[in-house]
Amino acid sequence: MNTPSLLNVDELSLVFRTRSGPVHTLDRVAFTLNDGEMLGLVGESGSGKSVTAYAVLNLLESSATITQGRILYRGADLLADAQAGKPSLRGKAISMIFQNPRAALNPIRQVGKQIADVLRAHRSITAKAAQEEAVRILATVKIPDPARRARAYPFELSGGMCQRVMIALALACEPQLLIADEPTTGLDVTTQAVIMDLLKNLARERGMATIFITHDLSLAAEYCDRIVVMHAGQIVECAPTETLFSGPRHPYTCKLIAATPQSDSEIRTIATVPGGLPDLSRTDLPACRYSARCDMHEAACDRAPLPLRSVGAGHSVLCWRVK
């Protein structure tokens, strides 16, 4: 009997209700994640990466409606459990590092107490023991003088330190799945590398799976085992990292890779992805939401939706022209 994947997002579609009408934010999003794997979820801003993560964590706004699909965690349907009022796995088995740690942290509560709050919410533990454990966790994420830093407020810490605190909060209950949403936003290049190395090492030590959400394809290439490429709420390609970069098949992936700066790139040689994301409130969205930007567009691109098609080992593409 096959062991189910840690996470299986299956044909997930999502609509936001707005005053001007429905916005078809996600369209048949599907991917799997295995234990200990780091999966990169990449695409330009507005492609649906963060919304997908919020759906997994049941953090969607009340205006959001999941119109089809399932989210399976070790074979259990998280959407069905939420509707049945079962306890959420959020914070314990599945945790998240949010964008902009200064905004995510409570500005008027010491960071050690914030970590202790998480521990006490999910464990039977005294306040004193939780505070001591918070200091230990801060040390785990390489914060110097953790006992002193635990008494600090977010505004007293640098951006890199705040990000480490966010990582400590997310890892406090030793989750099996960590979702890191743009964890290096606003950090300098050196600090970015330190934070990513820290996440990678902690995941390896704990056997923890990670979804790394980013628009930085080069960063995903360096740290991820597999990469899922999103465009306008659709997954257009999914492949092992080396396969994706050595032989991208979807036109959008090819454009993204061409637009990714290399260490020896000059500004004039960097390509761009022409056009912009389609208006997702349209009632006449084409089957392929990249079609208006695609050099290979044909009338068939606007027909009935195509499933992700396998084009190799672990490699799938949403394009009828790819054989």
How does DSSP assign 31-56, residue by residue? EEE-TT-EEEEE-STTSSHHHHHHHH
Angle at 311 between CA 204 and CA 212, to 5 degrees: 30
Residue 275: its H or E element: none
pTM over 0.85: yes
CATH topology of domain 7-93+175-317: Rossmann fold (3.40.50)
The ranges assigned to domains in the chain are 7-93+175-317, 107-165
Number of other residues whose CB lies within 10 A of the CB of residue 180: 27
- Of 59, 29, 3, which is closest to residue 228 (Cα–Cα)? 29
Residues in the chain where the model's pLDDT stays below 70: 1-3, 85, 262-270
Q: Is the dihedral of CA 110, 111, 114, 115 positive or negative?
A: negative
| pLDDT at residue 272 in the model | 78
Give per-residue pLDDT as tens, 195-238.
899 999 999 999 999 999 998 898 999 999 999 999 999 999 99
Q: Which one, of 244, 206, 207, lies nearest residue 225 by Cα? A: 244
- For 306, phi then psi, to 5°, come to -100, 145
Q: Which tens digits make up the pLDDT trace of 275-321? A: 889 999 998 898 999 988 988 888 878 877 777 889 999 999 998 88
Could you write out the DSSP letters of every residue in 50-91? HHHHHHHTT---TTEEEEEEEEEETTEEHHHHHHTTPPP-BT
Residue 1's pLDDT is: 46
